[in-house]
């Protein structure tokens, strides 16, 4: 089995450690979801199945030569656009608020969050285009439609139901474009255009509130409550998270002994970090922080060792959002950031988040596997110099 696993061994180890560590917190936090059925174990099994499928995706993707992702990104952009359009037109509501983030798949009776797939596809697409124009003279006019057109169209479809994901993806794309050598003056124009578009969107949404009930008000109230520090009903989740963190101390209260999991909404997904701190203390929190920091370090190493510009940008494009999302999730739990609804990668429950994280990790492993293949070939040629002559012939 291990002979079939290619790519960076450290990244495989990090992903596996995060997945294994996730079982106890998810099993513990899911108890408040199983009050009516009194069957917490079913949530454990569900989380196991999500991770199993996720690692199957990771394995399958890492066996695909990463050069094929260039063409696949071109094919997937229109597909993602159609999926997002269908998702938005479904008009899903939760407690009277617009929550058009999931598309229902009736055949298997499950839902899928299309924006997470769109985020990965966009990063691959941008990496492809930036590598294509790397050694050329870049003009803003020539890049508007092929580069920024698909980006703004897809983000426009994600924005109405998921502002936090839109902001994160836009930020990551700006960072990738900067690293990829896109002129800073053009990036400032794009950022300014994005801010103007967001302002116009908010004004239109305010003028026609029936189009997106409660969403704009929710965004504004979260930011206002965070900046003012007022103790309002909207801060209920943060207050419970802080109580959980304060209760954990250095060593925590012990696995499965969390009290706040019974009061904290989304305790197994958005706020699972608070439950981890409560049960495993500062030690558990630092353990996770070290793992994500280690992952960031390995992403940078794999990017630096990639054999092509596309490989370098591809690894950064799909890898940095994983660590960035993890840091945001942790920051929300300790009230360093407004509530966003972002999960903790490979830890939180939720199929779509796990699968798309595994997809991104699989792409990174594919790039590192190619580097290993080249290195093995170079070593073989050094040990057998006659092979050089035979290849030349």
Q: pLDDT per residue over 316-341, tens digit each?
A: 999 999 999 999 999 988 888 888 87
* pLDDT above 70 for 10: yes
pLDDT per residue over 121-170, tens digit each?
999 999 999 999 888 888 888 888 999 999 999 999 888 878 888 999 99
pLDDT score for 324: 94
Residue 332 to residue 327: CA distance in whole angstroms: 9
pLDDT score for 220: 62
With both helix axes pointing from N to C terminus, report the angle between 272-305 and 351-383 in degrees, rounded to the nearest 10: 30
pLDDT score for 242: 87
Number of domains composing the chain: 1
- Domain range for 53 is 2-392
Torsion over CA of 379, 382, 384 and 389, rounded to 10 degrees? Answer: 120
pLDDT score for 94: 46
pLDDT score for 96: 42
Which of 31-45, 127-141, 261-275 is least confident?
Answer: 31-45
Q: Select the more confidently predicted residue: 76 or 385.
A: 76
């Amino acid at each position: 089995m291990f002979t079939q696993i290619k790519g960076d061994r450290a990244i495989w180890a990090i992903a596996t450690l995060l997945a294994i560590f996730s079982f106890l917190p998810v099993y513990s936090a899911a108890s408040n979801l199983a009050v009516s059925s009194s069957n917490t174990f079913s949530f454990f099994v569900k989380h196991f199945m999500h991770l199993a499928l996720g690692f199957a995706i990771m394995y399958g993707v890492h066996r695909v030569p990463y050069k094929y992702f260039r063409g696949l990104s071109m094919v997937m952009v229109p597909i993602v656009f159609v999926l997002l359009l269908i998702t938005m037109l479904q008009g899903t509501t939760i407690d009277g608020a617009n929550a058009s983030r999931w598309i229902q798949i009736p055949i298997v009776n499950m839902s899928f969050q299309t924006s997470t797939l769109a985020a990965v596809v966009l990063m691959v697409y941008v990496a492809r285009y930036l590598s294509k124009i790397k050694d050329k003279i870049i003009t803003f006019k020539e890049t508007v439609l092929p580069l920024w057109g698909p980006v703004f169209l897809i983000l426009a479809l994600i924005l109405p139901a998921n502002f936090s994901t839109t902001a994160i993806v836009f930020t990551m794309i700006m960072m990738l474009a900067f690293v990829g050598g896109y002129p800073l003056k053009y990036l400032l124009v794009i950022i300014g255009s994005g801010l103007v578009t967001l302002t116009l969107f908010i004004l239109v949404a305010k003028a026609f509130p029936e189009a997106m009930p409660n969403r704009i008000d929710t965004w504004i109230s979260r930011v206002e409550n965070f900046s003012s520090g007022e103790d309002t009903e909207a801060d209920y989740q943060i207050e419970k998270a802080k109580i959980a963190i304060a209760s954990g101390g250095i060593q925590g209260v012990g696995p499965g002994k969390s009290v706040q999991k019974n009061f904290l909404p989304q305790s197994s997904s958005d706020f699972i970090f608070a439950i981890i701190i409560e049960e495993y203390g500062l030690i558990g929190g630092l353990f996770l922080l070290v793992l994500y920091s280690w992952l960031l370090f390995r992403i940078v190493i794999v990017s630096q060792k990639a054999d092509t510009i596309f490989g370098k940008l591809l690894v950064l494009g799909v890898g940095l959002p994983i660590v960035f999302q993890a840091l945001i999730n942790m920051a929300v739990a300790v009230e360093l950031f407004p509530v966003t609804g972002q999960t903790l990668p490979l830890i939180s429950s939720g199929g779509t988040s796990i699968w798309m994280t595994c997809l991104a990790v699989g792409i990174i492993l594919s790039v590192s596997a190619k580097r290993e293949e080249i290195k093995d070939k170079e070593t073989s040629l050094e040990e057998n110099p006659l092979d050089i002559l035979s290849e030349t012939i």
